[in-house]
Amino acid sequence: MVVKVVCEMLLKLNCKIIIGDSPGGPYTVPSLKSIYKSTGMKDIADELGVELNYDISEIKVENKNAKALKYMNIITPITKVDHIINICKLKTHGMATFTGGVKNLYGSIAGLQKAEIHYRFPNEEIFCEDVLLDICSYVNPSLTIMDGVVGMEGEGPSAGIPRKIGVTLVSPSPYMIDIVACRVINLDINKVSTIRGSIKREYIKKDLSDISIVGDNIERFIIKDFKIPKTSKDFRLLSSTMPRFIHEPLTRMITPKPVVSHKDCVKCKKCIEVCPAKVIILNNKIEIDLNKCIRCFCCHELCPKKAIDIKRSIIFKLIK
């Protein structure tokens, strides 16, 4: 496991290590204990004698250089350490297409406040190109490590499929590591909002000339047939060329929507808990008010039983 290897290397340098996480649900001590146990972090901490974070406090910070998220509540431990090592998985994402070093730092936001931010910024372009980059630039990790030994393809994260890739990527730049990872899985970087935003902010040169790769030849690891999610098309252009009374119903027709598979649903109410718009209820069965749904797909992402799918319209399938 990558986390264990990193801890072992840091211990040799006499570093004090704190392993932390901030899950998509409630940010509580019981939820952290569950996460640490299920992910193997508890075993690593016990074996190596390193600390697990159980400080569930948060602190409001100001990001003066932010484009969207000027103020945010982040988990307190982030503000108390000398260095942050950002360890992420190489994986696809049902709506964001790809989630890597930049998006992983959304975990800096405390618990259910992630859902609140989704609700405040329902527009995918603003959320990915502005909000996620605001958070990443503020946290500013010293090192980002991407575990691609076994990654994920398809409709991740909840319905993704494990795929052996065989790479571990390391970089001081979470922006650059995402670009190299996309190269490995044969994904056009122009389809990834966080990368487009990184280039717009000039965190990376447009011609990518500031990226150099050392170690094994990256060409050895490229997977031509890596399964990329069928993400939604960009219809923002329509809003400027069509009357609103036409554009809005057309957008609703085209936009993917969450659909519950009631045969798989166990009524655990996780989707109700994480829905930022509060449009999911349990009425003998789980029901989603699609008229008020903001299409953040937190329910799909965090359903433990993969009981919520993303349904795409016939029109979408014809034009994709």
Alpha carbon of 119 to those of 123, 252, 278: distances in Å?
9, 18, 9
- Give dist(CA 228, CA 162) in Å, integer: 13
* Residue 287 one-letter amino acid: E
My answer on whether 275 and 215 are in the same domain is no
Last residue of a domain, one of 36, 56, 76: 56
Number of domains in the chain: 3
Phi, psi of 140, deg, nearest 5: 50, 65
1 is in which domain, residue-wise?
1-56
- Give dist(CA 273, CA 31) in Å, integer: 13
Taking the chain (320 residues) in runs of 10, the rounded mean pLDDT of each run is 95 97 88 94 98 96 94 95 97 88 95 87 88 97 97 85 96 98 95 94 93 92 92 47 63 80 96 94 96 89 90 61
Q: What is the pLDDT of residue 143?
A: 98
My answer on whether 32 and 85 are in the same domain is no
- Give dist(CA 210, CA 199) in Å, integer: 12
My answer on whether 7 and 111 are in the same domain is no
Comparing CA positions, the residue from 274, 269, 305, 302 lying closest to residue 287 is: 269
The region that residue 307 occupies, defined by phi over 0 for left and psi between -120 and 50 for alpha, beta otherwise, is alpha
Measured at the CA of 289, the angle between CA 284 and CA 294, to 5 degrees, comes to: 135
My answer on whether 174 and 84 are in the same domain is yes
Q: What is the pLDDT of residue 187?
A: 95
- Give dist(CA 202, CA 103) in Å, integer: 18
113 within a domain of the structure (yes/no): yes
Q: What is the pLDDT of residue 235?
A: 43
Comparing CA positions, the residue from 176, 167, 267 lying closest to residue 218 is: 167
